[in-house]
Chains A and B, each alone.
Chain A
Amino acid sequence: MPKIKMPKANPSLDMTPMVDLAFLLVTFFMLTASVRVSEPVVVDTPSSTSDKLLPENVLLVSIDKFGKAFFNISNPQVRISTLERMGEQHKVQFTDEEKKRFGAMTSIGVPIAKLKEYINLDDTQRQKIKSPGIPIDSTDNQLGEWIQFGRIEAAKQARAEKDKAEAAGREFKYEPMRFAIKADGAANYIAVQDIIKIFTKKDIYRFNLITNLEQAEE
């Protein structure tokens, strides 16, 4: 019987298109990526059909399942100056190094007395400890103070930037700081309302409630 000659297949294939594609994707992801920062709290926001994007410049209060409050300001400069004001108020001295670290951090959920210690932890340790939440009692309303100072410092910052822009002859686009509330869907509504009342007492009535996007039912 004659042997059937199998065509000898070349085992190597041209990988160039695949590599092209891989690098294209790498480039795309590198350029579009925004680093996901680890928050000290998991907040499972409820979904809605609203498709408005969150503005850049926000003062964010997160509320977790148990009603604990966490505070964050998106602008690092404003964060730092707010920390200075809070330090003055509560007689806590922060070093420049601590301020710098604070500026790069995300939400905080510790009382001001423990904040220094919290800032000096390294990232992995910070992940491990449980934040008690910012005190919101009427006797020790630290969240209210954070909001108050954050608002003042944001206005100062905006003015400084405006002056700078005008001095340089550039046009300045003022973007007021927005107040965002990111509450867990399972949080008790009264707890959320208490925090909203802290805002309304300071004459802040307009909020951005952060939600997930949900597909609208037809």
Chain B
Amino acid sequence: MAEVNTGDGGGGHGKHEKKRAKKLSTRIDMTPMVDLAFLLLTFFVMTSTFNKAKTMEINFPAEPKSDEERQKVNNALTFIMSKDNSIYYYYGEFFPANNKDGKPATELTKTDFSKDGLHKLLLDKNKGTVEEINKLTEQLKTRAIADSTYKRLAINAKGNKAALTVLIKADDKAVYKNVIDLIDELNVCQVGKYAVVDMMPAEFDLVTAAGSK
């Protein structure tokens, strides 16, 4: 620590002992100052918040005026979130059992948040877009296209008519985290068209039946 002034000239000045005039030390005791500095340092380290909150921008659809307005979407994948982080999905349009068109009833498939589950499924279903975007990224790396062009083309690729559309639905046992995780996974897998929508009663029954199995 900083030396305390003992008044004998800071020591180590044995040669000057014979001199009458006492040489005053130019050193000052810094200990209190250092104490204070570290106190303040600790205080600020403890109280400061470093990272600002991060956000995810999302658009929610307006409430449809009537059921007829519900658009029929091609190439749609519907995810239904349920209890205990389970995810059910089906591809294409929904057909309830015994429908008048005579189509086979929609069956739910179960998946999970693991790498082999959701991630693989999305990459597989969204292959076209992923490949296109990978190609664009490659071009960007070799400087074949500019930054802004890349952005524009990537948005185009994601909004392409043939690109995958994802509908996200959740039942009353799902937690908010599930929905955020799913949206995050969609972003990772370059799915540009997704919406969080309400569930149809028929779907609800199907999920409840699947969950109680």
A19/B45 in contact, CB under 8 A = no
Residues of A within 8 A of B63 (CB): 197, 200-201
Given contacts A19-B34, A33-B44, A205-B62, contact A46 B176 (CB under 8 A): yes
| Bound-complex Cα distance A29 to B50 (A) | 10
Complex contact A19–B48 (CB within 8 A)? no
Q: Contact between A12 and B3 (Cβ–Cβ < 8 Å)?
A: yes
Complex Cα distance, B60 from A207, in Å, reads 8
Least distance between B199 CB and chain A CB atoms (Å): 10
Give the distance to chain A from B31, nearest Cβ to Cβ, in Å.
9
Partner of B51, one of A30, A182, A213: A213
- In the complex the two chains form, what is the Cα distance from A197 to B198 in whole Å? 11
Instruction: Tell me the minimal C-beta distance from A77 to chain B in angstroms.
Output: 22
Which of B53, B178, B181 has the most chain A CB atoms inside 10 A of its CB? B53
- Scan residues 196-210 of chain A and give those whose CB is less than 8 A from a CB of chain B: 196-197, 199-201, 203, 205-210
Asked whether B170 lies within 8 Å of A193 as measured between CB atoms, the reply is yes
Majority SS at the chain B contact face: mixed
Q: Tell me, in angstroms, the Cα distance from A22 to B43 when the chains sit together.
A: 12
Chain B residues near A189: list those with CB within 8 A: 81, 170, 172, 174-176, 178-179
Of all chain A residues, the one with the shortest Cβ separation from B10 is A12
B134 CB to closest chain A CB, in angstroms? Answer: 15
Which single member of B2, B38, B53, B188 contacts A49 (CB below 8 Å)? B188
Complex alpha-carbon distance, A208 and B3, angstroms: 57
Bound Cα distance A53, B171 (Å): 30
The reply on A180 being an interface residue by CB < 8 A is: yes
A-contact 0/1 string along B22-65, CB 8 Å cutoff: 00000000100110011011001101110111111111111100
Interface contact A50-B56, CB-CB below 8 Å: yes
* Contact A36–B47 (Cβ < 8 Å): yes
Asked if B109 is at the interface of the complex by the 8 Å CB criterion, the answer is no
Known: A29-B41, A206-B57. Contact between A185 and B174, CB under 8 A?
Answer: no
Instruction: Collect the chain B residues with CB atoms within 8 Å of residue A185's CB.
Output: 175-177, 180
- CA of A188 to CA of B55, assembled, Å: 20
Question: Once the chains bind, are B60 and A26 in contact (CB under 8 Å)?
Answer: no
Say yes or no: A48-B56 contact (C-beta < 8 A), given A26-B40, A190-B172.
Answer: yes
- Could you tell me the distance between the alpha carbons of A188 and B176 in the complex, rounded to whole angstroms? 6
Q: Sort chain A's interface into a size bin.
A: 35 or more
Most buried by A among B45, B52, B63, B177: B177
A23 to B177, CA, bound (A): 42
Residues of B within 8 A of A186 (CB): 175-177
* A54 and B180 form a contact (CB under 8 A): no
C-alpha gap A65/B170 in the complex (Å): 17
Report the minimum CB–CB distance from B177 to chain A (whole Å). Answer: 3
Q: Are A209 and B55 in contact (CB under 8 A)?
A: yes
Query: B1 in the interface, Cβ–Cβ < 8 Å?
Result: yes
Q: A29-B44, A185-B180, A196-B60 are in contact. List 14 more A-B contacts (CB 8 A).
A: A22-B37, A29-B41, A33-B44, A182-B53, A186-B176, A189-B175, A190-B170, A190-B172, A190-B174, A193-B198, A206-B60, A207-B57, A209-B180, A210-B55
Point out residues on B near A: beta carbons under 8 Å. 1-3, 12, 30, 33-34, 37-38, 40-41, 44-45, 47-49, 51-63, 81, 115, 170-181, 183-184, 187-188, 196, 198
> Can you list 28 A-B contacts (CB < 8 A)?
A10-B12, A15-B30, A19-B34, A22-B41, A23-B37, A26-B44, A29-B44, A29-B48, A35-B47, A51-B54, A52-B57, A54-B52, A180-B55, A184-B176, A185-B175, A185-B177, A186-B176, A187-B176, A188-B175, A189-B170, A189-B175, A205-B61, A206-B59, A207-B60, A208-B57, A209-B180, A211-B184, A213-B51
Question: 6 tightest CB-CB pairs across the interface, nearest first?
Answer: A29-B44, A185-B177, A33-B48, A208-B55, A12-B3, A46-B177
